[in-house]
Structure 1
Amino acid sequence: MRVEPLVLDADPVALVARIRELAPSGASVAADVAAIVQDVRDGGDAALRRYIERFDRPAPDPTPLPGDVEAGLRTAIANVRAVAEAQLGADTSVTLPQGHTVEIRERPVRRAAIYVPGGRNPYPSTVVMGVVTAQVSGVSEVVVCAPGLHPVVAATCELLGVQERYAMGGAHAVAALAYGTETIARVDVIAGPGGLWVQEAKRQVSGDVGIDGFLGPSDVVICADAHADRDLVLADLRAQAEHGDGTIVVLVSDDAALLAAAQEDLAGLDSLAVGATVRVADAAGALQVAEAFAPEHLELVGPSMEAHVDDVRAAGCVFLGTNGGTAFGDYVAGSNHSLPTGGSARFASALGPRTFRRRMSVVRVGGAADALARAGAPIARAEGFTEHARSMTLRQNQQS
């Protein structure tokens, strides 16, 4: 595994750019994805079947979950559900000085799809993260699709009561979900991680369907001081490196011995992930690097680093303290593992109930029409919209 030793100078943004260049992006697949999306959009089931036969593997026969796996999944389901429920907001109503009210309502979308990657292994944890969150949001129809629909994925769907599921993946699956076919009804939101083709397809259809974001290769930044447990820090770096190609693992520390140990340990890994060790003068410098990187996962380990937790603004999820390993968040901690990547944690958030909900206002003008028309009509006329002004002034002196 390639690991680059770096030192923070005056510009953390430039340093982060050097780190991200260690994992160059692959060749653009935009044109190929566009062709597949259009083909499925135009050809429906017939086109979709061609791509499934070409790219997907048949779904195997269902098998029961091993007892310990089912128990773990039930823990994950309960914890993810509890955290998601805590994020739901109540409708609110505001009464304005003119006497009218504006009510803010949140309503779930009707139908949502959870994309579960296929890869080398099944990912039942992604089923939990997506389906539970959509269910808590109030979505009435939740659909799951996964390449091959591995028995563990299918069994997890059973645990969650998801009956509509499809053994398909890739750009063609995203297109079918976004636009519908003769046998698959279109959805309102598509959520879930996936490879480059999947994420590019999500990007291309995002004008016609809601998406959770571009969830690309994974990354972690661990800010650790001399008091951190070295073995645990190395274990967390190794764990993240398991995600493979495109993954970036970064250790930021003011402790030279810890940095040297990480450099040696990671360099010995047989992994397509890339890494960097960054020497900083103190915890404040470590926070500068972390904020510039805006990592998917951020670990703060050791007293000086943990003291900065309230200063963090740009991270998908923060894991605090010696036992705050990122792996817990991937499975059973209750936080969602569908997180913003590629530095998008500067402006994007984790998958949550609001991914599947939309806000709308209910306006009751009533007797405030006169006052609002006096305020609004001059603005409309200034913008050249005389009929807007007329629409408001006609309501002056009307009874509520």
Structure 2
Amino acid sequence: MRIIRTTGRSAKQFEALLALLERRGSAALDTVLPAVNKILRNVRHQGDSALLGYAKKFDGFDKTQNLRVTPEETASAWNELDPSLKEALTVASRQIRAFAKNQMPKSWRASSGKGLTTGQLIRPLDSAGCYVPGGRHPLPSTMLMTVIPAQVAGVRRIVVTSPRPARETLATAHLLGVSEFYRIGGAHAVGALAYGTESISRVAKIVGPGNLYVTAAKRAVAFDCAIDMLAGPTEIVVTSDLGTSQGIASDLIAQAEHDPEALAIFITTKEDLANEVLTEVKLRSRTNPIAKEALRHNGYIFLAASKEEAQGITNRLAPEHLTVDATADLDWVQNAGSVFVGPHSPQPMGDYISGPNHTLPTGGMAGVRGGLSVMDFVKLITVQEYTAAGLRTLGPKAIRLAEAEGLTGHAEAIRARLEEKGSA
């Protein structure tokens, strides 16, 4: 990790780096796309034959196992779980479910003029595939974050895929009542969810984070199957003049330990605090090799000339996770996936138990969308209903607009209704 001033002799270096960081995103996906496309093509055309071959090669799957996890297996995992972990998972699920319920949009109808009623209907997707990574660490929290919003939205068929699912992940499936769970991962799992095989029916949408191959596969199938977003390496920005070096450094390390490619940035106007954080990060990351590597390659401390400049840099970065000093800071935040306010809000609380979703936009995408939510699992269907009087009022104006566009058929369709018996 290194300190870079935004002014003086390092100003040009800073601007070049910031411009590069603003363009971070999915370029790395192109390197694995040929291999991913081959896997997807084989799964699409060969079905289970290709899927099981890749599961054996990449997921450690063997013929003695069932591709589909049984309810008995998830129940057994739950029964074997430590009581304290059971309680933690239960509380987390309750928090996430309550937040998702508050997010749920409503159907409504209202009069927007005499003789016209408009509104919207909220309808769930028919099915969704939730991808739960199973690589470096078990991630039962990701199952909570992907499955619960789908359940709250009312999705009838929820499919989970996870390679080599750990006991904690299996137990969480039991807690949530997941009935369709497959022990596969990688691009081949995405292909099965997107196109279907003999064993797995396709889904309407795929959600959840994954490695480079999973993300590339989601991008490749996006025209055939809806996806949530392309999740890249974890990102953290802390913009603070008031935080403690211990708290800031701990948050930077916590997110950096997710991935050697994680991005960790501290922005401040206080030079003493910048130096203290740098020292603390070096001290605290010594025994965390993944975080240490990420911070060495992608760790920065930006020493800004003013609070306004620090705020502008933050919004240009559009980070996945953002920590600020106080509630008043929310007024200037324009681009962020999830915001953590004040000295008592460590970012890992949001990873597990606060309630807001931890599946968040990366690579600057927080500038255009938020994190995973119930909105990813519902459709908004708009409705309009005219009375004869309403059509007489607005119909002529719509005819005028149609004629201005040269769409005579549109105009005639309206005129025909106006001229029908009973419309007078």
TM-score by length of 1: 0.92
1:21-170 paired onto structure 2 within 5 Å: 26=28, 28-58=31-61, 63=77, 64-170=80-186
| Contact 1:373-1:395 within 8 A present in 2 as well | no
SS of equivalent residue, structure 2 residue 160: strand
Look up the equivalent residue of 2:338 and give its one-letter code: C
Look up the equivalent residue of 2:55 and give its one-letter code: I
Q: Does 1:255 align with 2:270?
A: yes
Query: Where in structure 1 do 4 or more consecutive aligned residues deviate above 4 Å?
Result: 10-15, 18-25, 59-62
Match of 1:230 among 234, 245, 252: 245
State the Cα distance separating 1:25 from its structure 2 match. Answer: 5.6
Q: Does 1:272 align with 2:275?
A: no
Tell me the percent identity.
Answer: 35
Q: Which runs of 5+ in 1 are unaligned?
A: none
Change (3 A) 1:343 1:13: farther
Q: Distance in 1 between matches of 2:25 and 2:399?
A: 56
Match of 1:294 among 294, 315, 318: 318
State the Cα distance separating 1:278 from its structure 2 match. Answer: 0.7
Q: Distance in 2 between matches of 1:338 and 1:218?
A: 10
1:297-327 CA distance string (max 9 Å, x none): 00013x6xx5322221100000001011100
Q: Does 1:281 align with 2:305?
A: yes
Q: Which has the higher helix share?
A: 2
The worse-fitting range, judged by mean Cα deviation, of 62-71 and 132-141 is: 62-71
Q: Which runs of 5+ in 2 are unaligned?
A: none
Match of 1:220 among 221, 224, 236: 236
CA RMSD of aligned residues (A): 2.3
Q: Distance in 1 between matches of 2:266 and 2:260?
A: 18
SS of equivalent residue, structure 2 residue 147: helix
The worse-fitting range, judged by mean Cα deviation, of 257-266 and 153-162 is: 257-266
Q: Distance in 1 between matches of 2:412 and 2:27?
A: 55
Change (3 A) 1:174 1:13: farther
| Contact 2:115-2:391 within 8 A present in 1 as well | no
Q: Distance in 2 between matches of 1:28 and 1:170?
A: 16
State the Cα distance separating 1:235 from its structure 2 match. Answer: 1.0
| Contact 1:296-1:317 within 8 A present in 2 as well | yes
Q: Distance in 2 between matches of 1:21 and 1:135?
A: 35
SS of equivalent residue, structure 1 residue 334: coil
**Residue 337 of structure 2 aligns with which residue?**
316
**Residue 395 of structure 2 aligns with which residue?**
373
1:268-318 CA distance string (max 9 Å, x none): 6333312000111333222111111111000013x6xx5322221100000
| Contact 1:340-1:349 within 8 A present in 2 as well | yes
Look up the equivalent residue of 2:192 and give its one-letter code: A
Q: Distance in 1 between matches of 2:202 and 2:24?
A: 39
| Contact 2:26-2:232 within 8 A present in 1 as well | no
Q: Distance in 2 between matches of 1:35 and 1:389?
A: 50
Change (3 A) 1:103 1:18: closer
State the Cα distance separating 1:21 from its structure 2 match. Answer: 8.3
State the Cα distance separating 1:72 from its structure 2 match. Answer: 0.7
1:211-255 CA distance string (max 9 Å, x none): 111111001001121x32221111111111111221011111122
Look up the equivalent residue of 1:193 and give its one-letter code: P
1:336-368 CA distance string (max 9 Å, x none): 100011111111111111010111112222313
1:66-118 CA distance string (max 9 Å, x none): 21111111111010011111111221223233512222111110111110011
State the Cα distance separating 1:23 from its structure 2 match. Answer: 10
SS of equivalent residue, structure 2 residue 419: coil
State the Cα distance separating 1:181 from its structure 2 match. Answer: 1.3
**Residue 385 of structure 2 aligns with which residue?**
364
| Contact 2:193-2:201 within 8 A present in 1 as well | yes
Q: Distance in 1 between matches of 2:26 and 2:277?
A: 22
Q: Does 1:187 align with 2:211?
A: no
Change (3 A) 1:287 1:140: same
Change (3 A) 1:49 1:230: same
Q: Distance in 1 between matches of 2:356 and 2:91?
A: 12
SS of equivalent residue, structure 2 residue 120: strand
SS of equivalent residue, structure 1 residue 272: helix
**Residue 244 of structure 1 aligns with which residue?**
259
| Contact 2:23-2:364 within 8 A present in 1 as well | no
Look up the equivalent residue of 1:234 and give its one-letter code: A
Match of 2:415 among 385, 393, 400: 393
Look up the equivalent residue of 2:181 and give its one-letter code: R
Q: Distance in 1 between matches of 2:97 and 2:253?
A: 29
Look up the equivalent residue of 2:191 and give its one-letter code: A
1:140-184 CA distance string (max 9 Å, x none): 111111011222111100000001000011111111111111221
State the Cα distance separating 1:19 from its structure 2 match. Answer: 4.8
State the Cα distance separating 1:185 from its structure 2 match. Answer: 1.3
**Residue 4 of structure 2 aligns with which residue?**
6
SS of equivalent residue, structure 2 residue 122: strand
**Residue 352 of structure 1 aligns with which residue?**
373
| Contact 1:189-1:210 within 8 A present in 2 as well | yes
Q: Distance in 2 between matches of 1:239 and 1:382?
A: 59
